[in-house]
Structure formats: structure tokens, C-alpha cells
Amino acid sequence: MGSASREALAQARAALRAGIDPATGGELLQAADRIAESPALASALGDASASAEAKGQIVARLFGGLTADARSVLAAAVQARWSNVEEFVAGVEELGLRAEGLANPALSDELLAVADVVDRNHELQLSLGSKLADPVGKVALVQRLLDGKTSASAVAVVSHLVANPRGRRLDAALRSAARIAADQNGSDLATVTVAAPLSAAQQERLARALEQSTGRPVKITTVIDPELIGGVRIQIADDVIDGSVRARLDDLRQQLAA
């Protein structure tokens, strides 16, 4: 996100609070869907040059059926100045994810579990990630698979991401949503890529080291990539620590080619 959008998101996040109506997250995700589907509406609400009063009137007219909490968060979002319309839409989506995380502290763990299932099932990944498949059918498949296995909020988030990929791989979108939900609840999510599975003791030592570095609790999700050969690659938000053998070999190739 651009600097203006990051500031706008921070301003809008102030409208999120403990005890927020549990319906807020789902309603904001639906609002993001509706805005993304209408370029004219997205431009009207995300245009930095439009008056806050005019945008507030649009929210009141088109989203008056939302809960008071959802309207409050959406109003805060449209009153802020975003770098561009696309980042405004992404910001509304993130606010919805954060609201879902507030209402369901276990959301990040649930989303990671779904991401792992998608990773392990190539056929499922193709079915849910297909650009040709009907979004309604993909959402119905998600709801059948997750019914009774995850919370309603997790089903809502996964359904939203499946129906609105916006160029994202589903597994990556799920892990990004999990990071947002974890951050909203005061913890970091580290994606650790290794060539072979870590033992429980290794994961515990790594988690302690990362917590000392970040100053916050850290949840670890592990991705196995045999092409790393050895070592480890750690990503926390936009920060990447790449100590893999593959990265060192790539550096060596670049030095030899220079």
C-alpha cells in the first residue's frame, strides 16, 4: 500500500473496538464485494478529491441496512484519503478481516488450517482457484467442505476469498488473511519455509527467538519446500529472513555473473 493508504487504514482501524457487533466483519466483506463489483461506486467512495460529506451520504444511502458498527467503520474508511481506488477496496476488505478477527480470536488458526488442506489437495486447489469456475459453485463447495468443521466466521472469510480472488492464489490469500487477523489480536504470524519438517522442539525454539525479536507473541506456520535444499526462510508481514541454501546459491550465481 502507498503511504496515504497506510495512514487511511490506520485511521479507519480506530473505529474497530473490543465488543464490536459480531456481524460487522461479514458485512464489511460484503460491502467490499459490492464496491469492487461497481467501478463507479468504487470511484465515488475512494476518490480522494470527493468531499467526505458526499461520500458519507452515499454510505448512508446504499449501506443503511448494515449494523451501526459496520456503518461506522465504513464511514471512517470513506472519509480517509487513499492512494488509489484499488487500495481503498483492499482496505475495506482488510477492515472486514480485522473485525472478524476481533469477534473470533481463533480465526487465524482456522484460516491456516484451511490453507494447509488446500496445499495438500492439488485437485481442490485447482477447483477453488479456477478462473473459469462459477464463483457461486466454488462458494457452495467451500461451505460443504467446512460445514461443522470451522466457525461461521472462518467459512465467511474463506467464501469471500474464493469468490473474490483479485489475482491472488487461494493459499496465499488465506495466509495473508490469517496474518491480518492475528495482528488485530496482538500477535505476529510467521511463515517458515523449510526443506524438511521441523520438530516440535525446533518450532518452540524458533517461536521464542522470533518473539524476542518482534516483542509480540508469534504463531508459526510451516511450509515445506524441498527446493530450498536446507536452511530456513522466514516471513513476518513484509519482512523476509532468507537463510536457505537456495538463497545462498542464488547469491553466488549473481556474483559470478556480475
Which pLDDT belongs to residue 249?
66
In contact, 35 and 61? CB cutoff 8 Å: no
Residue 161 and residue 173 in contact, taking contact as beta carbons nearer than 8 Å:
yes
Rounded CA-CA distance 231/192 in Å is: 10
- Alpha-carbon distance 4 to 257, whole Å? 39
**Range ranked top by mean pLDDT from 68-72, 120-124, 201-205:** 68-72
Give per-residue burial for 224-252: e unless 16+ CB within 10 Å, then b.
Answer: eeeebeeebbbbbeeeeebebebbeeeee
CATH of domain 187-258: 3.40.30
Average pLDDT of 184-205?
Answer: 86
Q: Say how far apart CA 55 and CA 12 lie, in whole Å.
A: 15
The Cα-based distances of 166 to 59, 66, 78 in angstroms read 23, 24, 21
Q: Residue 235 corresponds to which amino acid? A: Q
Identify the CA nearest to 115 among candidates 104, 97, 128, 105. 128
Q: Grade residue 252 by pLDDT with cuts at 50, 70 and 90.
A: low
CA 110, 108, 228 angle in degrees (round to 5)?
A: 95
Residues 133-174 pLDDT 10s? 888 999 999 899 898 898 999 999 999 999 988 888 888 899
What are the residue boundaries of the structural domains of the chain, listed by start? 3-103, 104-185, 187-258
Q: Is 193 helix (H, G, I), strand (E, B) or coil?
A: strand
pLDDT at position 24 over 90: yes
